Chain A
Amino acid sequence: MFQHLRIKSKITLGLGAIVAIFLLLLALAYNNLSRLSTANEWDRHTLEVLLETNHISTSTLQIQAATRGFMLTGNELIIVPIQEEEAEARAHLARSRALTVDNPHQQERLGRLGPMLDHWISNVINPLIEKRREVNRSLGVSQQVASANDVLNGTRAVADIRKLIDEIAKEETRLLAVRSKASTELQQTMFLLLGGGGLVCLLLAAIIGALLTNALLGPLNSLTRAVGRIARGDQAARAEVASNDEMGKVTVEFNRMAQAIQDSQAKELAATNELRAKVDALLDVVSKAASGDLTGSVAVGGVDAIGRLGDGLGTMFDNLRRLLNNVQKAGIQVTTSATEIAASARQQEATGIEQAQTSVEVLSTTKEISANTAQLLRTMEDATAVADYTTSATAEAQNNLKRMDLTMQHMVSATDSINAKLAALSEKASNINSVLITITKVADQTNILSLNAAIEAEKAGDAGRGFSVVATEIRRLSDQTSVSAWDIDQMLKEMQSAVAASVMGMDKFSEEVRRSVGEVRQVSNQLSSVMDQVQKLAPQFDLVLQGMQSQAVGASQISDTMMQLNDATQQTVESLKATSEAVYQLQYAASDLQSSVATFAVNS
Chain B
Amino acid sequence: MKVLVFSIGADRYGLRLGAIARVLPAAQLRQLPLAPPFVAGLMDLHGEPVPVLDLSRLAGVTPLQIWFDTRIILVDYEVGGKGGNSCVRPLGLLAEHVLGIETLIEADLADSGIQAAPFLGQVAATGAGMVQLVELAQLLPLDVRALLFATSAVAP
Give A residues with C-beta under 8 Å from B: 440, 444-445, 447-448, 451-452, 454-455, 458-459, 472, 475
Contacts and interface: CB of A to CB of B under 8 A. Distances in A.
Nearest to A448: B23
A455 B4 contact: yes
Interface stretch (B14-22, B104-112, B147-155): B14-22
A448 B18 contact: no
A447 B17 contact: no
Contacts of B69: 444, 447
B17 A458 contact: yes
Contacts of B24: 448
Contact of B2 (A440, A445, A458, A475): A458
A464 to B, nearest CB: 11
Contacts of B68: 440, 444
Contacts of A459: 17-18
B2 A451 contact: no
A472 B2 CA distance: 13
Contacts of B101: 451, 454-455, 458, 472
Contacts of A440: 68
Nearest to B19: A455
Nearest to A450: B100
Interface centre among A444, A458, A472 (most CB of B within 10 A): A458
A448 B100 contact: no
Given A440-B68, A444-B68, A447-B69, A452 B17 contact: no
A454 B73 CA distance: 14
Contacts of A451: 4, 23, 71, 98, 100-101
Interface in B1-54: 2, 4, 17-18, 20, 22-25
Interface of B: 2, 4, 17-18, 20, 22-25, 68-69, 71, 98, 100-101
Contact of B71 (A448, A454, A472, A475): A448
Nearest to B72: A448
12 contacts: A444-B25, A448-B25, A451-B4, A451-B23, A451-B100, A454-B100, A454-B101, A455-B4, A455-B20, A455-B101, A459-B17, A459-B18
Task: Identify whether the interface residues of B are mostly helix, strand, loop, or mixed.
Answer: strand
Contacts of A454: 2, 17, 100-101
B20 A475 contact: no
Contacts of A455: 4, 17, 20, 22-23, 101
Contacts of B17: 454-455, 458-459
A452 B71 CA distance: 12
Nearest to A443: B68
- Sorted nearest first, the 4 A-B pairs with minimum C-beta distance are A458-B17, A451-B23, A454-B101, A455-B17
Contacts of B100: 451, 454, 475
B20 to A, nearest CB: 5
B18 A452 contact: no
Given A451-B101, A454-B100, 9 more contacts: A448-B24, A451-B71, A452-B22, A455-B4, A455-B20, A455-B101, A458-B17, A458-B18, A472-B101
A473 to B, nearest CB: 12
A448 B23 CA distance: 6
A332 to B, nearest CB: 146
Contacts of A475: 100
Contacts of A444: 25, 68-69
A112 B129 CA distance: 226
B73 to A, nearest CB: 9
A71 B91 CA distance: 207
Contacts of B25: 444-445, 448
A452 B74 CA distance: 11
B131 to A, nearest CB: 16
Nearest to A451: B23
Nearest to A475: B100
A454 to B, nearest CB: 5
B102 to A, nearest CB: 10
B66 to A, nearest CB: 12
A459 B18 CA distance: 7
A591 B17 CA distance: 172
A401 B23 CA distance: 74
Contacts of A445: 25
Nearest to B20: A455
A440 B17 CA distance: 26
A406 B38 CA distance: 72
Contacts of B22: 452, 455
A440 B2 CA distance: 27
Which of B2, B23, B98 lies at the interface centre, i.e. has the most chain A CB atoms within 10 A of its CB?
B23
A452 B2 contact: no
A569 B134 CA distance: 147
Nearest to A471: B101
Nearest to A472: B101
Contacts of B2: 454, 458
Nearest to A454: B101
A440 to B, nearest CB: 7
A436 to B, nearest CB: 13
A472 B100 CA distance: 9
A472 B25 CA distance: 18
A454 B22 CA distance: 10
A475 B100 CA distance: 8
A447 B2 CA distance: 17
A454 B5 CA distance: 13
A444 B69 CA distance: 8
Contacts of B98: 451
Contacts of B23: 448, 451-452, 455
Contacts of A458: 2, 17-18, 101
A367 B45 CA distance: 128
B136 to A, nearest CB: 14
A158 to B, nearest CB: 189
A604 to B, nearest CB: 151
A447 B22 CA distance: 12
A158 B81 CA distance: 210
Contacts of B71: 448, 451
B140 to A, nearest CB: 22
A71 B17 CA distance: 222
Contacts of B4: 451, 455
B45 to A, nearest CB: 14
A454 B68 CA distance: 20
Contacts of B18: 458-459
